[in-house]
Amino acid sequence: MPERPTNPANHRQKSNLIYRKVLHYFLTKMIVASGIIVGFVFLVELVRRPLELTNLSEGIKSLIVAILHATVTVIAYRKIFAAYEKRPISELSLADFTGHAVTGFATGILMQAFFILVICLAGTYSVLQTNLITYLAQPFAFALTAGFVAEIIIIGVVFRLLERQTGTMIALVIFIILFAALHIKSQGATVISVCATAMQAGFMLPAAFVFSRSLWLPIFLHFGWDLAEPGIFGAINPSNSLTQGLLTSKIEGSPIITGGVRGPQDSLESMLLSLALGLVFLLFAMKKGRILRPKWEE
């Protein structure tokens, strides 16, 4: 029998269908959205070059770049997912900004203050010098960039899309395992430091998003946390090399309590408090009916 001629229209329709399925697959969305956001962050870095020609202080230059980082990250995320998902971007709603921003920022600072209190009671925390308020500029800029860029990509893009596919509980387990695995070989890593990181980044911050369904809460919790550790209390933060802040301090004592070379955020008290706060977020999320089921159970 002679072969039936192919219908070009049907072929194009099938090709378009496959293309749309691939483009809208959750892993593709993660790669595309993360890549675009990182690209814009890289472009902002180019602003540093003309800034170096000015007479502005290093702190002011860093603040300008950090504000641009935060701004382009939010705009890129909103534009990408407004186009991808054809919906209002409620997780970055300005109506929810103030409440979640203040709560998150205060929580991050208070948690770090608690870690320092524990070190004072069980070890030694000495303030060697109090510095000018201007010393906060660079830690503030670093924390602003870290809070916005990291949480929008990690929570807004990766966790949110994973959660929609696997459900909340499986996504949280994956994140805990992922962050533990990524930090096993970090310099100075211990069992406690790895578990502390897994509880902070893999559990507490995603749980904050699940509870609030707003990215502002984890963004500003991260912001306050990273500002307070080196910027206010003069402690080590393993993700940056800042050496100056509002206080110049000396921390001594058991690495279990002080975090050792990893700093207070990788201490026993940090691990336990992050776990406890994450569980509180999750409990309230359950009461509000904000736990998602796996896509295959819908």
Residue with tokens 């049907």: 10
Q: Region 263-290: what's the mean pLDDT?
A: 97
Say how many C-beta atoms besides its own lie within 10 A of residue 193's C-beta.
27
Q: Region 43-58: what's the mean pLDDT?
A: 88
At residue 25 the predicted structure's pLDDT band, cuts being 50, 70 and 90, is: confident
Given this model, what pLDDT does residue 2 score? 56
8 A C-beta contact, residue 264 and residue 258: yes
Q: For residue 129, what are the β-bridge partners?
A: 248
Given this model, what pLDDT does residue 4 score? 53
Least confident of 4-18, 59-73, 128-142, 205-219: 4-18
Q: Region 40-60: what's the mean pLDDT?
A: 89
Its pTM stands at 0.92
At residue 68 the predicted structure's pLDDT band, cuts being 50, 70 and 90, is: very high
pLDDT at 1 over 60: no
Read off the tokens for 152: 């929008």
Q: How far apart are CA 227 and CA 235, in angstroms?
A: 10
206-230 confidence digits (pLDDT tens): 999 999 999 999 999 999 999 999 9
- End-to-end alpha carbon distance in the chain: 46
95-141 confidence digits (pLDDT tens): 999 999 999 999 999 999 999 999 999 878 999 999 999 899 999 99
8 A C-beta contact, residue 229 and residue 237: yes
Work out whether strand 247-252 and strand 124-130 pair parallel, antiparallel, or are unpaired. antiparallel
151-166 confidence digits (pLDDT tens): 999 999 999 999 999 9
Q: How far apart are CA 184 and CA 211, in angstroms?
A: 28
| Residue 187: DSSP 8-state | T
Read off the tokens for 247: 């206080």
pLDDT above 90 covers what percent of the chain?
74
Q: How far apart are CA 288 and CA 123, in angstroms?
A: 41
Read off the tokens for 269: 């008290």
